[in-house]
Structure formats: C-alpha cells, structure tokens
Structure 1
C-alpha cells in the first residue's frame, strides 16, 4: 500500500547516514533563505526601478548561472571533497544575500537594480555550484534500487524550507510598510539562515567518507562528459529542456501576476488582512504543502512501478500551470487552488533525479549531474528573456506561450522517453 511506502520512506529519513542528515539540515536552512527571497525578486527589482524587460533578462541571467555553475561545481566537489566545497559555496551565497540587502544604498555607475545581478552571481553558489555535490553524496549513501526514495527523503526536508520560507516572508510583510522595507527585513532573516547552514555543514559534516575523483581536464573534460551521457538520458533531456524553457518564460513573473494583475488580497481568521504581496507568501506555502504531501508517495510509486510516468506527471503540471494562473479570476480561493495544483509538479522530482544520477559511476556523480544540468540549463537561458518580451506586450500571451512549449516537451518525453536501468 502507498501508506506503507510512505512510512518506509520516513524510516529511511531517520536512518540516513549522518552526512546525509547534515546535508538535509543545510538544505533546509538554505531553502528558507532562497524561498524567502527568490519568488519576490521580480517585485524587488521593480521597486528599485527595473522594467519587465530587465526582469526577464534577470531571469535569463539566473538560468545562465544555473547552466554554467553545476559542472565546475561538481568537478570541484569531486576533486576537493564535499565538505570543503559546500562550505566554500555557502560563504559565497551569504555574501550575495548581503549585497542584495545593500543594493538600494549603493552608489557608483550602476543603478540600484543592477547590483542584484552582481549579487545573484554569489547567491546562487550553494544552490547551483553545490548541485553536483549534493547528488553525489546521496548516491554514495543510498542503495541504487531505492534512489528515488533516497532523494525523496532529503527533498522532503529541503522542501519544508520551501513551505516555511514564504510563511516567514508573509509574516514579515504583514508587519512592515511597503514592499521595499518588507523585503529588506526578509533579507536580514535570510542572511541569518544562510550563515547557520554554512556553519552547520562545516562543523557537523564528516569528510572521511568523501570520494575523490579525477582532476578536471578543462573544456576537454566537458566535451567528454557531455558525450558520455547515457543514451536513456537523451529523451529526458529534450523533454526536460522544453518544459524548463517554458517554466523559465514565466516563473519570475508569477509574483507580478498576483500582485499587479490579479491584485488579490485576503482576510484570514486570526491573521487578519493580507496585502497581495503578503498573500503571495501564503500561496507559495500552499504550493509547497501539496508538494510535501505528494513527494513521498510518488517516490514509492516510482521505485515500484517505474520512473517515467511519475516524471511525465510532473512535466504536465509544469506545462499547465501558466495558462491556469493567467486565466483564473481574481478570487483568493481560486488562485490558491491554482498554486495547490502547481505543487503537484514536485511529484516527479525524486524520480527525475534518480533518472539522472542512477547510471553515474562512483566518484563521478557530481560530474554526471553537472554535465546534464550544464546542457539543459544552457539551452533554457533565453527563456526568461523571451518571456519578458512577451510579457511586456501581453501577460496572457507570455503565459499561454509557455503552456504550449511545456506541453510539447511533455509529449516528447511521453513518446520517446524510456525506463533506464540504474
């Protein structure tokens, strides 16, 4: 029964090796920092004077970083060990959050919003440079037959941050006046969580179990690792790229649709009245609550019934969410329902990660993961910029186009995707 699978996976969470538990704690703390800030960044940019085109370019720049960081990050972690790599990446991320906080008061030749681009280079260090390290650590600690559940165990802990982060942001926005002041307060708390995560992984993580791979051979190694991606990954890569391109077209604009287009606010029992920017945090929490409910059962299904249908389900939710959001009436309950549906996309996340890292050899998990994300994210870099151009013409055009592209990716994976052997 699915309930038995959930209980078994929860037992796996409690029984994970110390290193994976430490990683989970760091994931939780960094998730709080990222989720308190990431989904509001478009509104912060707008408050500092940026237009829709600049916001779209910011989204594409973020995708560019997500493309180029995982491969060298994976190579670094394979070479120097997980603890030192993740500590380094954590320190860089803390510096990025600090720069975001200082941006409104920074002078010089750059406008205030431009400093957010500079800070993004640092903020994304733990999340993107550390991607390969986190994948490799889970792979070396979990039996190959249960990779989906192993990733689900760590993801559930991480996604708790996705749930709590927006709620903390909601409380801060409700207690402050104006979006700019509220986001500045959010950043102070985010910095605190990022420092906590960096210190915890440095002090608690035991590096004796790290595997050290070969030294990075420069661009020749990139070409070699890209060419060596297992054939079963290629249909996944094509479908995943199209779906993520579609999501990138509109993801950064979700907050603007809720705050500016729908202008939906709500009065909740006990809490009272919430402005649109505060209500947006509640919507993100609803989305993540659904994600936490579905990830463990979906991982159980994936390990027993196959990875492909679970991944395809997640892809289809990615594709349909934009058209639903741009079409929904300005009613708080209906908007919340759309975000609840969006949370179902996380059902495919553990299975998706298992598809990527399963064939990797010991000592090369970081590089395989990095190579996959390097190629996928490089191809999705223009997504947000394209979405920004379309959004400046018509939000409906941008969100509808995103759904069309996402459905193409989902269909391709359903037709050509295969169930690989780990």
Structure 2
C-alpha cells in the first residue's frame, strides 16, 4: 500500500513512522525545507498527560473576560471580520458547560493516555534522543484561591487515573530547588507525576531521519495546492512543483492549514489557528534553573527545561493566520521566567518564536476516516500535538492499514462535525 502523508510536523512524522513500520510505502509532503519547522518548532516541550483538558470549560468565558484586562494577559482576541473565527468561537462557548467538558475531556484523555503508553516503545525501538526528562509537571499556584480551586482538578485527575501530588511551598521547592529564592511568590502546587518533557522538534527531526532509513520519502518545499477527488475518492494531491502525487490512501496532518485544502472537497472541520509564543534561552546557572516543567497558573505560561536550554511558552492569541512576531509579543513569557527563575537563564540571548496551534472548539482532535473514501485525518490537536503525537499517529496508521486500532475512535472522528 502506498500512503501519502500531508505534513511533516510531529503529527505527520509519527504517522509516517507507524505506517512504514506496518509495511506501507510512504511519501511525506511539506512546504517547509525540513521536518518540524512550524507548530512543532518551539512549543512548550511538555508531554502533558495529566494536564490534558479542553480549553472550553465551565467558567472559562468569565475568566477570559478578566484575562483581557490583565497587564500581562494570557489571552488576546483581535476582532477580525471573519465569519469562520466567530463561528468557531460560538461553538467553543457552547462547549463551556459541565456535561460537554466531561465528554470532551474523556475523549482527549483516551488519546493522551494511549500516547503516554506507546511512546516509550517508540523510543526503545528507535533509540532517538530529544532532551527527554521524566520528572513531571508542577502547576504553580500564586494565590490561595488558585490552590483551593484545584480541588476540582484533583477529582478529575483521580477519576482518570492520572497520578498527582498536592504540595505546599516546601514540597514545591523539593522538586524545583531554584524556587527557594522566590518562595514568597507562590503558596503551593499540584505536581502531575506522569508528565514528561522533551524537545518536540529534536524528536521530529530524529524520527524523520529514522523514517528515511526505513524507506519513507520526504518531499520538502512542496506546497499543496489542492486535493483532487474523483468518484468519491482522493485521486491525488496537487503540488506547486511536482504536480500530482498519488497513492492508495492519504493522511491530512496539516494542522491549522488543513481546512484550506479540506473545505473545497467538502470535508469541513472547525479547526482554527490559535497563536502561541515562546522564548528559548541558555542555562547560565544550574542552581537557579528549572529541572522539569513549571506551569504558572496565573499567567498560563509553561517553563520547561530542555537539556542546557530553558523553553518558556504561553499566550493564546486569536488573530487568524498571522505569524507576525511583534516587538512586545514575548513580554509575558519573558516576565515569567525572570520572575520565577531569576538568573537561571540568559534572557538577553532568548530566541523568540511564534506558531499556530490547530484548535477545535471542543478541544478534541479529529482523527480517522473522513467522508472521502481513502482520506484519513490526524489534525486539530491544539496545544497537545506533542503530547498526543505517538498515540494518534499509531492509531490512525493502524486504521489506514486495515488493522483494528487499540483505542476506540468513537467521538474522535469528523462525524461529530458532519465532516
């Protein structure tokens, strides 16, 4: 079987790996010059199994209004004249209730837990290095209100068998010793012990090299113009340089850009780009640097240790397909690293980045068979693409190859959107 995978980010490359492992002849197309150069390039570095939750949750609309008035706010909304944006936002608001939240979270956890379980096998099989650590995520609370509010999260974590520890100030410092110098700035934390960390792009590059050694063909610099459909099936992918590229089956893993080629063929998905920012800086003092991931609950900023670097990521900006990195875009993430880990990294040498997260209004990615016979989907992971990559890649590959996936696809497919 010949399979064409559209997209060479972490989702597309993991899918290609499992397809090739299953015996398929695989071609991967991407408009960039190499793998992992868009959303996978400089994300937070979190493998957030314990923090897998939809953004659409009870109370979020009110919180979002408050965030808009914060000096260093985690959310920006630019009121574009875009029916697509407003329709997506309305759908998200309709999911901000208890019943929808529990349904959507259960679907998301199904994927992330599966990814957590299969990723160690992939690492063992390939031996790839990606600055990985297994020291959990510390959700840091600056106020007693945040600490008390975490009780609901603790109940949900227990319900889904996600291990955690509730820590006081001393407990937080025990797992992140550098916090001793700023202990007055937080009251406690919730540590998610099963979470891991690692450089998503380093992983994607290494896995792409492994795939190439397995016979996977990567065609870079290939912008996709359209998907050609004939008699209810994909007949080929039209590219700007190579023309039509054909296969027996096709997987769309184009993230935020998927709707641009899917909508014209009647596969309409409410996947919308939500812009995020990060900075990466070198460690200059080991004793003042983080050891794993710390999530600042107030600013919704993640600080992650990646080898001899620190990645600081956050902010959600709804601004269409803009990739502009303005002069003050990373002010919030820079403030948080300086506030919690002063002297740990060299902020003057920080490299800024921005990327578009492919978000669905219910938080759950769109996986599996589409309404077009031989077209499969692996998109819409939002901020959790790195977390869910191995699980969704393996499950979708199994489906393409005619094997029974090890997870239930109920509620994960485009059927829930009529697509």
TM-score, with length taken from structure 2: 0.25
**Higher helix proportion (structure 1 or 2):** 1
Q: Which structure features the higher share of strand residues?
A: 2
Q: What is the TM-score of this pair, normalised by structure 1?
A: 0.25
